[in-house]
C-alpha cells in the first residue's frame, strides 16, 4: 500500500515538474523571439539590450513575465519583423506606427489575446495568407499608408475577430471585393478603406454591424452598385463614398439620426434627393456634386454646409435653386422612380421642360404624348402616375424586366391608343381599356394570374411563350400551393415526433440513471424536466459531491440537511425565494436556494434552467460552484457551495449591524480582482461567451478567507457562437444597468464591465449605487463619481470613513477610482474589457501581498535558470531524499492539495 502511494506521489511530482519546465520554456520562447526582433532592426531602440525583454523600452509584460505589449511609435526604426512574431502567444498590443520598417509582414495567426495592431506608416512589401487568421480578441487593426504592399484582399478569416471595433487600411493597396462578413462585428465602429482598388458593391451585412465611421472614397477602379444598405445603418455618423461609381438613388435615411457628414460627390447616383436627408438632426456637411441627381434642388437647414452642384450644372436638377419642378417633370420623375431611376434617363432628363430633348419622350403642343421605353432592359414597375399625363397617346414599355401588374388607372387616359408591355414579367389581371386601345401583353408568363406577394416573377423567362403556357389556370397554382403546405406540415410533424420521442427517452434515461443520486448534468442541460422523479436516490442518504459534476439530489437529503428548511437555517431571502444553510452527513456545508412556487412561471423556470446550464459548463475558482439541483413536484431547488462570510454588500453597507469589522483596503482590492477574474472567465475564457447581466455586491459571496466568488447566474445570457452581444428583455438591478442596455435591450459584455465599475465605486466610498438617504447630488453614485473623478481632494473626502488611508494606500485607491470611471464610460466602446481590469488590479494586489524571494527563485526545488538536464537531475535527487520524509507518511484518505506556483505564474492559470 505504502509503495503504491509513493508511486502515486512520484507521478504527481513528475507532472508538477513537467508543468514548471513547460512554463519556463514558454518564457524562453518569448525571450528568443524578442531577441530576434531586436536583431532585425537596423537601428535598435535605446534600452533594447540585456536578456530581460520585460525591461526594454516600449515592452510590457504581465505579472508572470509574458510579453503582452510592444509599442514603438515614430522611433525611425528600419529593418524587418521576424516571421515568428505569432509565437508571442500572450501578446495583446503591437504598435509600430510611423517607422520605416520593410520586408514581408509576419503572420499574426492564432494570437488569441491580441487586441491592438498598429502597423500603419511603414514600407512593408507583402501580406501572408494567414495574416489575420484566428485573432479572436482583435479590437483595433491599422495598416494604412503602406504604399509598397502588392494587391491583397480582406480575408474572410477576419470574421474570427468578433470583437473588432476599428479596421483602418487607407492606402494599403487592397483589391477585390469587400467580403460580406460584417454581421460578425456587432461592435465595429470604424471601417476606413480609402484610396485602394476595391471593386464590387457594399455588402448587405453592413446593416448588421455597428459601423459609425465608413470611409470608402477614392477607389481606383471604383466601387459600384446601389447604396441602399445605408438606410439600415442606424448608428452611422460619417459616410465617405465620394469618387466611386455608385449608382441608383439615395435611400430613405430617416433612421440615421446621428449622421453628420455625408460625402457622395463624383459618383453616378440618380434620383430625387429624399426629404429624409435634409431633415437629419445632426447633419453638418453634405457633398452631392458630379452625380446625376434629379428633381428639385434640396433645401437644407441653416448651418449645414452643402455642395450640391446645382449652380454649375453638375447634376440634373430641374432648377438651379430650391423650388418645385414643373408638373410634367414631377410626374415623369415618379415614373423613373418606379424603375429605380435608370442612368439612361438621368443623363438626358435635365432641366424643367421634358419637351426639350428628353430622351424617350415625344411632346405635342407642350404636352407629353409618347413615352417609348421599348427594349431598354429597365427593371421595376409601371407607375400609376402615368395616368396623370392626360395627353399621352402611346406608352411603349416592351422587352424590359418589368414586374407587378398593369395599373388600372391607365384606363383613364382618354387619348391613349397604344399600350405595349409585351415580353416582360408582368402578372395580375389586365384592366379593361376602351375598345380603340391596342393592348399588347404577350410574352408575360403570369399575365392574368394573381401571384402571391412573395412569388419571384423575375425568374420567369422574358421571351415569348406559347398560348397554352400563357393560359395556366389559377386553380393549378392553388392546388400546388395547398399540396406544398400539407407536405411541410406533415414533414414538420414527423420531425417533431422524432425529436419528442428522443427527448422523452433521454429524460427517462436521465431519471433512471439518477437512482444512485448522481445524475450528471455535464453533457445535457435539457435533461432538467419537471417530470424528473423526486424519489431518485432516496435509499442512499450518504450523499457527497464530485468536482466538476452537478448532480440531482433527493429532496429527503436536503430536508435532513436543512432541518426541514427551518427558519433558523435561513441565510437570506430574495424575489426568487429563500436560501438555507445545510450540512450533509459527511460534514459538507451547503447553501440551498429554494424557489417559491409563485416564482415558477415561465420566467422563473427559465432562470432555474439557465443557472444549471451555465454552472454545469463553467468552473472557475472565482465563480460559486453549483453542487446540484432538486426537482420535487412544483418545487425547484439549487444547491451551492456554502460561503460562510455572506455577501459583499453585507460587509460594505451593514457591517456595523452585523457586528463585524469593516473591510480593509487590502481585502477590497483582493475582492475586486477575484470578481474581475471570474467575470473575465465568463466573457471569453470559457468555451462560450457568457454575460452575467446582474453583477452587484449582493451577488458576490465571500469565504472565510475573504476571497470572493460571483454568484446568481439566473439572468446569464449565452452569446451565440462567434458573437459577444445578444438582444434580450431588460433584466438586472437599477443602479448597475448600463445606459445603452436600459435604452435598447441590447446586452454585451460591456454591460458587466459597467456594473463592475459601479462595484469598484462602492468599494471605494462604502456607498450604495442608488441611495435616497444621500443628498440629491450623491444619490446616484455613478453620476456623482464622474463629476469628481479628476479631483483627488473630492475623492479623498468621499472615501469610506473606515479606510483612513495613508499616502501610499491612497495612490492605490486613486488608480482603482480611475479604473472605475473607465469601466462606467457612457459609450460602451470606450469601456475596457475585463482582462484590462485584471491587468490593472493584479499589480496593486501584488503590492499588498508580495511573494517571498524564495518563491520567486525556486519552484518545487528547481531553479528556473537551470538547463533541462540539470533540472531533471535536481528533481531526481530531491525525489530520492524525500521518500522517507514526513510528507509521504500522511495517512489521510485523499490527496487534495498541490504546491503553490510562484506568484509570477499564477495569473496564467487563474
Give the residues across from 577 on adjacent strands: 574, 595
Give the residues across from 69 on adjacent strands: 60, 93
Q: Which helix (H) or strand (E) holds 604?
A: helix 602-617
Of the candidates 872, 900, 867, 903, the residue with the CA atom closest to the CA atom of residue 24: 867
Sorted by sequence, the CB contacts under 8 Å of residue 500 that are 6+ apart come out as: none
In three-state secondary structure terms, 306 is: strand
Dist CA 121 CA 98 (whole Å) = 4
The vertex-224 CA angle with 286 and 230, nearest 5°, equals: 50
Sorted by sequence, the CB contacts under 8 Å of residue 294 that are 6+ apart come out as: 270, 271, 272, 315, 316, 317, 318, 333, 336, 341, 346, 349
Sorted by sequence, the CB contacts under 8 Å of residue 602 that are 6+ apart come out as: none
Q: Which residue, chain included where needed, has cell 435509499? A: 539
Q: Residue 196 CB: number of other CB atoms within 10 A? A: 25
Query: Cα separations (Å) of 891 from 4, 305, 369, 458, 547?
Result: 13, 85, 108, 83, 22
Sorted by sequence, the CB contacts under 8 Å of residue 88 that are 6+ apart come out as: 30, 33, 34, 66, 67, 111
Sorted by sequence, the CB contacts under 8 Å of residue 253 that are 6+ apart come out as: 230, 231, 259, 274, 276, 277, 280
694 is catalytic: yes
263 burial via Cβ count (<10 Å: 0-12, 13-18, 19+): buried
Of the candidates 193, 253, 252, the residue with the CA atom closest to the CA atom of residue 217: 193
Q: Are 639 and 627 in contact (CB under 8 A)?
A: yes
Of the candidates 253, 196, 189, the residue with the CA atom closest to the CA atom of residue 221: 196
Q: Is 767 left (phi over 0), alpha (psi -120 to 50) or beta?
A: beta
Dist CA 860 CA 899 (whole Å) = 8
- Which ranges of 643-801 would DSSP assign to H, the alpha helix? 648-653, 655-658, 665-680, 739-744, 749-765, 781-788, 792-797
849 burial via Cβ count (<10 Å: 0-12, 13-18, 19+): exposed
Dist CA 487 CA 206 (whole Å) = 37
Dist CA 596 CA 164 (whole Å) = 43
Sorted by sequence, the CB contacts under 8 Å of residue 742 that are 6+ apart come out as: 730
Q: Single out the catalytic residue among 308, 674, 694, 800.
A: 694
Dist CA 149 CA 196 (whole Å) = 11
Q: Which helix (H) or strand (E) holds 811?
A: helix 807-823
Positive or negative, the Cα torsion across 740, 744, 749, 753?
Answer: positive
> What spatial distance separates the first Cα and last Cα of the chain, rounded to whole Å?
35
Q: Which residue, chain included where needed, has cell 410634367? A: 328
Q: Which residue, chain included where needed, has cell 468578433? A: 162
Q: Are 820 and 764 in contact (CB under 8 A)?
A: yes
How large is the greatest C-alpha to C-alpha distance in the chain, in angstroms?
119
Sorted by sequence, the CB contacts under 8 Å of residue 615 that are 6+ apart come out as: 550, 623, 624, 625, 626, 713
Q: Which residue, chain included where needed, has cell 424586366? A: 401
Active-site amino acid positions = 694
Amino acid at each position: 500500500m505504502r509503495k503504491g502511494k509513493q508511486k502515486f506521489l512520484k507521478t504527481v511530482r513528475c507532472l508538477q515538474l513537467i508543468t514548471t519546465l513547460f512554463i519556463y520554456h514558454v518564457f524562453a520562447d518569448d525571450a528568443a523571439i524578442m531577441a530576434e526582433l531586436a536583431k532585425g532592426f537596423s537601428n535598435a531602440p535605446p534600452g533594447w539590450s540585456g536578456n530581460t525583454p520585460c525591461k526594454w523600452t516600449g515592452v510590457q509584460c504581465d505579472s508572470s513575465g509574458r510579453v503582452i505589449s510592444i509599442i514603438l511609435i515614430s522611433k525611425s526604426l528600419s529593418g524587418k519583423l521576424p516571421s515568428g512574431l505569432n509565437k508571442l502567444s500572450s501578446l495583446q498590443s503591437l504598435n509600430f506606427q510611423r517607422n520605416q520598417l520593410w520586408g514581408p509582414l509576419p503572420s499574426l495567426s492564432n494570437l488569441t489575446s491580441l487586441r491592438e495592431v498598429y502597423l500603419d506608416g511603414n514600407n512593408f512589401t507583402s501580406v501572408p495568407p494567414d495574416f489575420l487568421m484566428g485573432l479572436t480578441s482583435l479590437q483595433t487593426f491599422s495598416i494604412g499608408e503602406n504604399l509598397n504592399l502588392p494587391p491583397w484582399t480582406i480575408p474572410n478569416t477576419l470574421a474570427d475577430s468578433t470583437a473588432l471595433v476599428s479596421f483602418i487600411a487607407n492606402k494599403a493597396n487592397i483589391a477585390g471585393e469587400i467580403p460580406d462578413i460584417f454581421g460578425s462585428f456587432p461592435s465595429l465602429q470604424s471601417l476606413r478603406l480609402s484610396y485602394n482598388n476595391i471593386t464590387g458593391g457594399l455588402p448587405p451585412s453592413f446593416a448588421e454591424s455597428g459601423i459609425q465611421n465608413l470611409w470608402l472614397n477614392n477607389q481606383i477602379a471604383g466601387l459600384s452598385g446601389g447604396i441602399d444598405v445605408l438606410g439600415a445603418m442606424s448608428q452611422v455618423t460619417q459616410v465617405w463614398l465620394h469618387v466611386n461609381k455608385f449608382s441608383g438613388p439615395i435611400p430613405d435615411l430617416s433612421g440615421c439620426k446621428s449622421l453628420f457628414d455625408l460625402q457622395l460627390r463624383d459618383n453616378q447616383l440618380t434620383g430625387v434627393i429624399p426629404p429624409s436627408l435634409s431633415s437629419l438632426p445632426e447633419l453638418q456637411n453634405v457633398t452631392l456634386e458630379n452625380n446625376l441627381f434629379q428633381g428639385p434642388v434640396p433645401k437644407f437647414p441653416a448651418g449645414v454646409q452643402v455642395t450640391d452642384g446645382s449652380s454649375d450644372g453638375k447634376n440634373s436638377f430641374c432648377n438651379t435653386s430650391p423650388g418645385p419642378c414643373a408638373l410634367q417633370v414631377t410626374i415623369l420623375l415618379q415614373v423613373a422612380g418606379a424603375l429605380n431611376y435608370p442612368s439612361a434617363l438621368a443623363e438626358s432628363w435635365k432641366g424643367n421642360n421634358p419637351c426639350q430633348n428628353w430622351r424617350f419622350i415625344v411632346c405635342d403642343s407642350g404636352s407629353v404624348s409618347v413615352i417609348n421605353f421599348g427594349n431598354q432592359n429597365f427593371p421595376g414597375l409601371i407607375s400609376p402616375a402615368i395616368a396623370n399625363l392626360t395627353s399621352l397617346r402611346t406608352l411603349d414599355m416592351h422587352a424590359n424586366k418589368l414586374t407587378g401588374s398593369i395599373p388600372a388607372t391607365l384606363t383613364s387616359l382618354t387619348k391613349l391608343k397604344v399600350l405595349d408591355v409585351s415580353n416582360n414579367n408582368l402578372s395580375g389581371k389586365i384592366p379593361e381599356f376602351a375598345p380603340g386601345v391596342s393592348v399588347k401583353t404577350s410574352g408575360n408568363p403570369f399575365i392574368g394570374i394573381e401571384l402571391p406577394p412573395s412569388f419571384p416573377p423575375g425568374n420567369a423567362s422574358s421571351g415569348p411563350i406559347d398560348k397554352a403556357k400563357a393560359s395556366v389556370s389559377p386553380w393549378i397554382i392553388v392546388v400546388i400551393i395547398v399540396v406544398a403546405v400539407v407536405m411541410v406540415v406533415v414533414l414538420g410533424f414527423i420531425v417533431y415526433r422524432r425529436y419528442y420521442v428522443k427527448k422523452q427517452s433521454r429524460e427517462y434515461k436521465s431519471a433512471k440513471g439518477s437512482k444512485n443520486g448522481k445524475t450528471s448534468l455535464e453533457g445535457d442541460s435539457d435533461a432538467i424536466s419537471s417530470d424528473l422523479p423526486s424519489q431518485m436516490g432516496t435509499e442512499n442518504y450518504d450523499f457527497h459531491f464530485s468536482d466538476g459534476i452537478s448532480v440531482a439530489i433527493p429532496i429527503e437529503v436536503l430536508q435532513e440537511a436543512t432541518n426541514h428548511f427551518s427558519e433558523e437555517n435561513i441565510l437570506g431571502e430574495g424575489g426568487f425565494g429563500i436560501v438555507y444553510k445545510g450540512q450533509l452527513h459527511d460534514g459538507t456545508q451547503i447553501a440551498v436556494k429554494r424557489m417559491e412556487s409563485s416564482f415558477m412561471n415561465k420566467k422563473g423556470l427559465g432562470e432555474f434552467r439557465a443557472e444549471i446550464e451555465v454552472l454545469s459548463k463553467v468552473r472557475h475558482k472565482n465563480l460559486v460552484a453549483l453542487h446540484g439541483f432538486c426537482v420535487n413536484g412544483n418545487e425547484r431547488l439549487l444547491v451551492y457551495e456554502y460561503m460562510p462570510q455572506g455577501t459583499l454588500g453585507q460587509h460594505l453597507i451593514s457591517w456595523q449591524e452585523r457586528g463585524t469589522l469593516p473591510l480593509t483596503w487590502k481585502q477590497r482590492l483582493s475582492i475586486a480582482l477575484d470578481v474581475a477574474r471570474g467575470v473575465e472567465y465568463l466573457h471569453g475564457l470559457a468555451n462560450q461567451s457568457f454575460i452575467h447581466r446582474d453583477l452587484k455586491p449582493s451577488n458576490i459571496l465571500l469565504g472565510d478567507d475573504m476571497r470572493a466568488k460571483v454568484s446568481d447566474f439566473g439572468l446569464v445570457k449565452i452569446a451565440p457562437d462567434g458573437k459577444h452581444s445578444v438582444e434580450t428583455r431588460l433584466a438586472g438591478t437599477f443602479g448597475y444597468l448600463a445606459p445603452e442596455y436600459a435604452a435598447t435591450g441590447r446586452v454585451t459584455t460591456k454591460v458587466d464591465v459597467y456594473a463592475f465599475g459601479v462595484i469598484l465605486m462602492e468599494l471605494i466610498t462604502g456607498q450604495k449605487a442608488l441611495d435616497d438617504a444621500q443628498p440629491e447630488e450623491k444619490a446616484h453614485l455613478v453620476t456623482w463619481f464622474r463629476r469628481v473623478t479628476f479631483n483627488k481632494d473630492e475623492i479623498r473626502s468621499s472615501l469610506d470613513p473606515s479606510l483612513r488611508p495613508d499616502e501610499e494606500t491612497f495612490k492605490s485607491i486613486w488608480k482603482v477610482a480611475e479604473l472605475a470611471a473607465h469601466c462606467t464610460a457612457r459609450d460602451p466602446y470606450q469601456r475596457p474589457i475585463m482582462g484590462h481590469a485584471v491587468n490593472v488590479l493584479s499589480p496593486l494586489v501584488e503590492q499588498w501581498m508580495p511573494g517571498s524571494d524564495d518563491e520567486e527563485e525556486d519552484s518545487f526545488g528547481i531553479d528556473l535558470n537551470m538547463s533541462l538536464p540539470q533540472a531533471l537531475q535536481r528533481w531526481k535527487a530531491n525525489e530520492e531524499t524525500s521518500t522517507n520524509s514526513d510528507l509521504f507518511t500522511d495517512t489521510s484518505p485523499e490527496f487534495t492539495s498541490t504546491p503553490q506556483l510562484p506568484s509570477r505564474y499564477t495569473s496564467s492559470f487563474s
